[in-house]
Amino acid sequence: MGRRGREPAAVPDQCQAGHGHVHERAGAAYRRRVPRRWASAAPPGPGAGPLPPAQGGDGGRARPPLRRRRPRHGPGRRLLPVGNLRRCGRGHLLPLRVRSGRGRRLHPRAGVLDQRPLPRCLAPLLRHLDAGTHRRGRRPAQDCRGQDRGRPVSRRTAIVTGSTSGIGHEIARRLHADGFNVLVTGRDETRGERVSEELGEHVVFVAVDLTSPGGPAELATTAIDRFGRLDVVVNNAAIDHADDLLEAPTADVRRVFEVNTIATIAVLQESAKRMQHGGAIINITSRLASIGVPTMGIYSATKGAIKALTMSAAVELAPRNIRVNAVAPGMTRTPLYDAWLDDQADPEQTERDVVAAIPLGRLASCADVAAAVSFLASEEAAYITGVSIPVDGGYTAH
C-alpha cells in the first residue's frame, strides 16, 4: 500500500487476471492491492466467501478489503474537535487550523463545514463563543488588557478632586494630555475656571464642597451627564494639619478627617456605583501613612486610613472590574511646601536637610506624582489593584 501523499501503487497484471483481488472505489486512481496472504484465500470470482478446508482454505472468514484513507486537505491542515470552533459570517461554524494534533475531523472538504444545520447540542457552545454576550452573573468578556470586547472605544472620563492647584492640577493636566475628559473640582471658582481655560476642550470645572451631604453624588452625576461615562477617579482633595498631638483641638481633628478621609470615602462610593464598565480609583495618600513624624500625627492618621481603605476596596470592588490603588508622594515642591518652607527660621538650610534625607537627592515634582497616576489609570495597569506606590525618591525605603 502506497504512503499517503504519493501516487497509489501500480496493480500487477496477475492481479488483474484473477490471481489477486482489486478493490475499486471512485475510479482507477484509488485502486489498492490486497496483500497476497488474503488474496490467495479468495476465489477468482468477486464477492465469493472463503475456501473450505478441502480446497486448501482455512475455513475462516475472509478479511475485507482495505478502505482508502482520506487524503489530507493540504499540508499541515487538521481539523479540531467540536469544542474548537469559531463563527463565520453566515452563522455557521468553521474549524480552526492547528499546527499539530489529530483531533476529530468534522468534514472532509478542505477544512470547511458544509451548510447543514448545526446540532442543538452546540447551542451552549455558540452562546459561550459569542463575543457580545456573557452568562448572567459573570463579568463581561475581556481581552488580555482588561478591556471589554465588543464595546466601542470612546474618550474616557476622569474626575480629579482638589485639582485647581499643586499636585491635583498637574494630574488633571496629565490625564487630559492622555486623552481623558477631565472634571476639575475645587471650592475656588476663579482658580477652577482658570484651569479649565488653560487645558481647553474636554475639561469641565465643577465647584463642589465634598464634605456636604450631596457633594460627591453631584460630582459623579455631572460626569455621567456631561460625558456619558465615568472611568477614573483621583481622590486628591485634602488639607494639611500640623500640631502637637496632645494639644490638637477636637474640632480641628474632626475637620481634617472630614476632608481627608470621609469625603474620600464618599467620592469612592458614589463614583463606583456609576462606573458601568469598570474603572480605576486612585487615592493620593502620603509618605506619612507609613512613617511617624512629630506634630503630624493627625494628618498621618487620615492618610493611613485611606491606605487601608485602598486595600479593602480593591478586594471588594474587584468583581465590578474596578481597580483601586494609591499613590504616596514624598516631599513634593508645591505651593503648600513653599509656604511651609517660608515659615522656617532658615529656609535654605531646612531645604538642604530635607534633600539630604532623600536617597535620590531631590524633591519630587508634581509631574513625578502625575506620572504614577497616569500609569495606574491606564490599561497598562489593568492587572494592578490594591497597591500603594511611593513617589518619594526612596525615602520610605531606608
CB atoms within 10 A of CB 12: 12
Instruction: Give catalytic status of residue 395 as yes or no.
Output: no
Task: State the catalytic residue, choosing from 273, 299, 383, 395.
Answer: 299
> Does residue 388 come out as left (phi exceeding 0), alpha (psi in the -120 to 50 range) or beta?
beta
Task: State the catalytic residue, choosing from 303, 307, 337, 383.
Answer: 303
Instruction: Give catalytic status of residue 303 as yes or no.
Output: yes
Alpha carbon distance 185, 182 (integer Å): 10
Which residues have a catalytic role annotated? 299, 303
